[in-house]
Copies of this chain bind each other. A is one copy, B any other.
Amino acid sequence: MEVQGGDHPYVPRDLKLPGFVPCFLTQLDIVSVYGVASTLVFAFMWIFSGRFPKISKGDRLLMCWWIFTGLTHMVLEGYFVFSPNFYKEKTPFYLAEVWKEYSKGDSRYAARDSAVISVEGITAVLEGPACLLAVYAIATRKSYRYILQVAISLGQLYGTAVYFITAVLEGDNFAVSPYYYYWYYVFANSFWVWIPTIIVVHCWKRISSAVQIQDQTKTKTR
């Protein structure tokens, strides 16, 4: 099954990946498993969060997002960060398949680009566990729940910005075709742009209004 001479489907074509082994699963298999697993995680958290009486529907939706993105960061991205040889994987191991497939949209994953690894490392090691903490913080209405969500969301936005800017600076030629470029690189990543943006705006307003009330209380008691 091993492809000789570093042959692989990725772009740029002169990328050397000795020992590359092609995907065993189809695109439909890989995407379906992620879709079904994510739906189950969402559904579980939606039902579970309903057991907390004081949690609004908006907060329950946020808990679904945080468990989904947290597990994505820790499991999928965590595997990538600590598996430099995923493209040599000789079995249809799902996590390796994901990155073999995603590299068709951005070959810097297979090429071990240092900016990609740095961003994915911070995301998997720091932000992933912080997402699970956010689920707990929302459920138990901790006073740090808004600032924690802002912190993680800004981290996701900063990471995505570095991810896209470095690609542009390096020629933006890492996708096999426009299909993979738009679906994997642009569309899939766009969720980590617009969702964190909405969360930052939402929590920013909540924090500002809380600080305003505190400021007014202090002024009154003077």
Contact = CB atoms under 8 A, between A and B. Distances in A.
Interface stretch (A31-39, A95-103, A143-151, A175-183): A143-151
A111 interface: no
Contact of A147 (B121, B145, B150, B165): B150
Interface string A200-222: 00001011111111110100000
Interface string A110-146: 0000110111011000000000000000000101111
B214 A121 contact: no
Contact of A118 (B162, B204, B210): B162
A114 B210 contact: no
A85 interface: no
B114 A170 contact: yes
Q: How many copies of this protein are present in the complex?
A: 2
A154 interface: yes
A62 B191 CA distance: 35
Q: By CB atoms of chain B within 10 A, which of A118, A145, A206 has the most? A: A118
Interface of A: 114-115, 117-119, 121-122, 141, 143-147, 150-151, 154-155, 158-159, 161-162, 165-166, 169-170, 204, 206-215, 217
Contacts of A115: 114-115, 118, 162, 166
A185 B209 CA distance: 40
- The A contact surface, by secondary structure, is helix
Nearest to A146: B211
Contacts of A207: 144, 146-147, 207, 210-211
A217 B214 CA distance: 11
Nearest to A212: B143
A146 B144 CA distance: 13
B215 A211 contact: no
Given A158-B122, A165-B121, A209 B151 contact: no
A143 B119 CA distance: 31
A205 B145 CA distance: 12
24 contacts: A114-B115, A114-B165, A115-B115, A115-B166, A117-B165, A118-B162, A118-B166, A121-B165, A122-B158, A122-B162, A141-B215, A143-B208, A144-B204, A144-B211, A145-B211, A147-B147, A147-B207, A154-B155, A154-B158, A155-B158, A207-B207, A207-B211, A210-B213, A213-B217
